[in-house]
């Protein structure tokens, strides 16, 4: 039973790992002993995060733009040139657009669907050789897709493409899970509620209080909450969990 909850020595890749929720996930993975690659468009942010997180382990910046299939394939090729195997892929990079229904744009539809849904499929496809190389009956490889509470229930914002992308991502995770289960690769989605980030700015105490009051657990999310859940899904303890959508929102969707 020793090592049941450990991810020590595993190799991980976190998209959008330079900031926000992705950085929270990377922080926990690095501290728990996973050699962790972080992907994003902004080299300076990635380098700064990689340098800071490397004080507790190994964190490597891997710049790239995942908004196109070609961009994702380029990231996968760079990764493959450095690592033969990938134990944990966290598809976290995402964006949100909201606008009143009458002025909602095609660009606001396409950009969100492309990054939050299409790129997840094609990056996972491009990294399958490395995931397969890591996966065995003794130790599964894990794909974790970061969905949203907004894919479980409709919130106050008019973010139609985001709602559609996240609900589809949850459902697609099940499709990938079913196909890849026999190859010892699990695929699960996490549906976060409020976590502080550029997407969910919490720059004033009143905002934190207002958000916390909407959550039965009476607080917003922390790095331990999201990073701990991802680490668990990559550990031996979660080998039999696949195709799940795990709400991580302090009971907000209840
Ligand atoms: N925060 C929340 O409360 C919350 C709630 C539910 C779900 N989520 C989900 O959690 C995930 C992370 O969100 P967040 O709140 O952390 O947002 P964020 O603060 O805006 O971070 C997004 C990250 O993705 C990267 N990124 C954006 N576009 C990219 C692209 N084209 N290629 C590569 N990387 C790209 C960004 O880096 P660069 O800009 O440098 O590329 C950044 O590191 C998203 O999928 C979001 O939908 C968040």
pLDDT in tens, the chain (254 residues): 889 999 999 999 999 999 999 999 999 999 999 999 999 999 999 999 999 999 999 999 999 999 999 999 999 999 999 999 999 999 999 999 999 999 999 999 999 999 999 999 999 999 999 999 999 999 999 999 999 999 999 999 999 999 999 999 999 999 999 999 999 999 999 999 999 999 888 888 999 999 999 999 999 999 999 999 999 999 999 999 999 999 999 999 99
- For residue 51, tell me if it sits in a domain: yes
Q: What is the pLDDT of residue 129?
A: 98
Q: What is the pLDDT of residue 1?
A: 85
Instruction: Please check whether residue 189 is in contact with residue 173, taking contact to mean a CB–CB distance below 8 angstroms.
Output: yes
Please choose from 40, 207, 220 the residue to mutate so as to test ligand 1's pocket, defined by most ligand atoms within 8 A of CB: 40
Q: DSSP per residue over 19-54, as a string?
A: SHHHHHHHHHHHHTT-EEEEEES-HHHHHHHHHHHG
- For residue 189, tell me if it sits in a domain: yes
Q: Judging by DSSP bridges, how do beta strands 185-192 and 11-15 pair with one another?
A: unpaired
- For residue 215, tell me if it sits in a domain: yes
- For residue 186, tell me if it sits in a domain: yes
Which parts of the chain are beta strand (E)?
11-15, 35-40, 59-63, 88-91, 141-146, 185-192, 245-248
Q: What is the pLDDT of residue 228?
A: 98
Atom of ligand 1 nearest to the CA of 146: 45
Assigned token pair, 141: 């490889």
Q: What is the number of structural domains in the chain?
A: 1
Assigned token pair, 5: 């909850």
- For residue 135, tell me if it sits in a domain: yes
Contacts of 164 by beta carbon, 8 Å cutoff, 6+ apart: 113
Ligand 1 geometric centre to CA of 54 (Å): 21
Contacts of 220 by beta carbon, 8 Å cutoff, 6+ apart: 193, 194, 195, 196, 202, 208, 211, 212, 250
- For residue 2, tell me if it sits in a domain: no
Q: What is the CATH number of the domain that holds 68?
A: 3.40.50.720
Atom of ligand 1 nearest to the CA of 71: 32
Ligand 1 geometric centre to CA of 93 (Å): 4
User: To 10 degrees, what angle do helices 69-82 and 119-126 make?
Assistant: 30
Contacts of 32 by beta carbon, 8 Å cutoff, 6+ apart: 6, 7, 8, 231
- For residue 253, tell me if it sits in a domain: no
Assigned token pair, 81: 């040139």
Q: What is the pLDDT of residue 212?
A: 95
Spatial separation of the C-alpha atoms in residues 99 and 3, rounded to whole Å: 48
* Residue written as token pair 């009956």: 137
- For residue 90, tell me if it sits in a domain: yes
Angle subtended at Cα 174 by Cα 169 and Cα 176, rounded to the nearest 5 degrees? 90
Domain around 199: 11-248
Atom of ligand 1 nearest to the CA of 194: 3
């Amino acid at each position: 039973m020793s090592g049941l909850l450990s991810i020590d020595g595993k190799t991980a890749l976190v998209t959008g790992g330079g900031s926000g929720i992705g950085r929270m996930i990377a922080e926990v993975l690095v501290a728990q002993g996973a050699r962790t690659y972080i992907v994003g468009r902004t080299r300076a942010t990635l380098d700064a995060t990689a340098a800071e997180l490397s004080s507790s382990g190994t964190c490597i910046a891997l710049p790239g733009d995942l908004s196109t299939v070609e961009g994702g394939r380029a990231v996968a090729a760079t990764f493959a040139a450095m690592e033969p195997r990938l134990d944990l892929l966290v598809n976290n990079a995402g964006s949100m657009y909201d606008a009143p229904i009458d002025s909602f744009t095609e660009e606001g539809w396409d950009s969100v669907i492309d990054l939050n849904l299409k790129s997840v499929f094609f990056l996972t496809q491009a990294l399958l050789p490395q995931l397969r190389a890591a996966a065995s009956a003794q130790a599964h490889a894990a794909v974790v897709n970061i969905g949203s509470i907004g894919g479980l229930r409709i919130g106050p914002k008019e973010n139609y493409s985001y709602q559609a992308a996240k609900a589809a991502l949850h459902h697609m995770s099940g499709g990938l899970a079913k196909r890849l289960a026999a190859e010892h690769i699990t695929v699960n989605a996490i549906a976060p509620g409020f976590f502080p980030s550029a997407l969910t700015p919490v720059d004033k105490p009143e905002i934190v209080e207002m958000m916390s009051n909407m959550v039965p657990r009476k607080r917003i999310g922390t790095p331990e909450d999201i990073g701990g859940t991802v680490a668990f899904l990559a550990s031996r303890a979660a080998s039999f969990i696949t195709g799940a959508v795990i709400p991580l929102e302090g009971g907000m969707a209840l």
